[in-house]
Amino acid sequence: MKLVRKGIKWFGILLFLFILINMAIYTYAKITPQLQIKSANSFMLFDNTNTVFFQGSGSREWISLEDISENVITATITVEDKHFFFHKGFDFLRILKAGFSNILSGARNQGASTISQQYAKNLFLDFDKTWKRKWDEMWYTIELESDYSKEEILEGYLNTINYGHGMYGIENASQFYFGKSARDLSLAEAAMLVGIPKSPANYSPLVNLKKATERQQHVLAVLLKEKKITKEDYQKAKNEKLSYVGEKTTENLTTVMYYQDAVLKELQQIKEIPSTFLETGGLKIYTNLDLTQQKKLEETIKTNIPKESKIETTTVVLDPNNGKVLALVGGKDYNKSPYNRAIDSKRQVGSTMKPFLYYAALENGFTSSSTFTSEKTTFTFSQNQTYSPQNYNEKYGNKPISMATAIAYSENIYAVKTHTFLGYNTLVQMAKRVGITSKLEEVPSLALGTSEINILEMAGGYAVFANEGYKITPHFIERIEDREGNVLYQANYEKELILDPNLTFILNNMLTATYDKDYIDYNYPTAITLANKMTHQYAIKSGTTNTDTWYIGFNHDVVVATWCGYDKNQEIDPSEYKYAQNIWLQTIESAMEGKEDAWYTKPDEVSAVLVEPISGRLATEKDEKKKIMYFLKGTEPTETTLVFDEMLEKKAEANP
């Protein structure tokens, strides 16, 4: 009995202290400056003409609680936080219940966040899971509860929550999914929308109708259980057939959200910007988006990939002179798949890896005329392991061919011989120099692009060739201002010369061999079908694996990189190879429409020599084919060119 009294006494003391501390905390929060919830975490995205193309974390029009259907309000409170009107920001009984349930299950299946806590989260730019982030969330929850009424908090929450597909706020979501105002939503429609925020990527009816419907039925069942609706209401809503609009009321671009996601990801990495929007009261983000180019890119994808096809694509349009990303798609349709392959995925790059190898070769004494023998070859490397690459369609010249010819045909044997001759580390270091950060293995097959690299990295790497040797950083954001117009961040355009402009000129001209009829011999140049479709001169390299197709090309003004493939690495049918090629061609042609050719001027240190293109030797009167090729002065070919195979064999003997 004595222990019981002692226990009650200590419980009373702890309860008193708890109440006292809470009163002190909430009183302090009350006297601190009031949070401006309508401007907090708001951001406006501008394209490169300073036109707003997105306003996030809130709708373009903040709607009042009176303008939101009672169906939405009741369902939101009942499902998300049924004690919303009775707590001060934290539902401690729910926290204890969720904690106990998670301990029993051994997993974190139950959450206990209140609407106030979730709204506090929505006031943050990022969602880092750090202790500081948690403490900030708690404090802002307390401030919200101290400064605003429950109705004001609920109104703010419903105006800022993410309903998927870039739709922030109930009004935007209602217009997007159902083409009507939030005040006119039926019970069935409201239940569908209320179910989405738990996991927008899974519960959007435009992504997975089955899962979304199951979630909607759960919301309706909770409403019935809590006696918020009648059985008749429940059955009627459950059986109501919903029709979806799935379009924005402006611009109607299904891919521009990929660009927006890339902007927000970059925003999180800019250290000059405060960690929360609360400290800035909203941001104006001026991006490099060329909306005209973005529209044309989307149209091109819709035109070239059949609607029923499951194949996916990503394309980046980049200004190589400053790194501005002008347009970007991370998939065919953001409504169906918000996964942004442009910034979040890595794929095998195939033969698009070869230009990095060949630049390194030029830097190490090779020329456009340097020759290896095109023939079936088995390579022996460390610990007597062997590697037997094959040329596409098993076509071999069985004779020495020039580097330019190897590029034209995308010769695998020539590439691996070059890679072996230089040493496997050379290509790895070359890729790092131009800005590729993905992990690359020092293996023979690296020359054929067996490593996985992100498309934005590849576009940035090719930009170094396109701008004649300067390393740039692909970026989406040009400038950031606060609500008062104070500049918080400005993109830095300092460039570092990392490659020899003479060698980039030589390489860029060799990359035109991919569509040059003068290289038709025992094989055809890989992009020969594009020769009569292009109105400008480009450097082009394609890449193909069993699961990936790439096209990357450029001139001095623009780099366009395109990938097509299946998310689950399904093999690509040969009939689908054309998708990447056509998307690339039409995109770069639209970027250059109405512009003059943007090709390169020969540097003084480079000489132009007439050669026989396949062998690379100095042309004679007897040669049917003659081609101007470029060389550093002093390295021009002669009538008899050196074949590197013999040197490679000697190197292998010296390093068994």
Residues annotated catalytic, as ranges: 80, 351
Cα 121 → chain centroid: 24
3-state helix, strand, coil in the chain (%, to 5): 45, 15, 40
Contact (CB, 8 A) for 553 and 514: no
Opening angle at CA 189, ends 183 and 194, nearest 5: 90
The helix-helix angle for 354-363 and 501-510 (nearest 10°) equals: 130
Side chain identity, residue 177: Y
**Which residue is listed with tokens 């355009």?**
493
134: CB partners within 8 A, 6+ apart: none
The first and second tokens of residue 648, run together, are 């490679």
The helix-helix angle for 291-304 and 577-591 (nearest 10°) equals: 150
Reduce the secondary structure of 515-564 to three states and give it as a string.
HCHHHCCCCCCCCHHHCCCCCCCCEEEEEECCCEEEEEEECCCCEEEEEE
CA separation for the pair 214, 79 (Å, rounded): 14
Contact (CB, 8 A) for 335 and 307: no
End-to-end CA distance of the chain: 87
Q: Give which of 390, 442, 452, 451 is closest to 419, Cα–Cα.
A: 442
Strands of the sheet containing 325-329, edge to edge, are 325-329, 312-318, 559-565, 548-554, 539-544
Contact (CB, 8 A) for 69 and 84: no
The helix-helix angle for 231-239 and 187-195 (nearest 10°) equals: 70
401: CB partners within 8 A, 6+ apart: 371, 372, 373, 374, 409, 411, 414, 614, 615, 616
CA separation for the pair 276, 41 (Å, rounded): 7
Q: How many CB atoms lie within 10 A of CB 451?
A: 21
CA separation for the pair 433, 329 (Å, rounded): 26
Cα 21 → chain centroid: 46
Strands of the sheet containing 487-490, edge to edge, are 52-56, 43-46, 283-287, 477-482, 487-490
**DSSP type of residue 371:** E
**Which residue is listed with tokens 């993109």?**
491
Burial label for 49, CB within 10 Å (0-12, 13-18, 19+), is exposed
Q: Give which of 241, 53, 67, 274 is closest to 169, Cα–Cα.
A: 67
Q: Give which of 359, 341, 354 is closest to 543, Cα–Cα.
A: 354
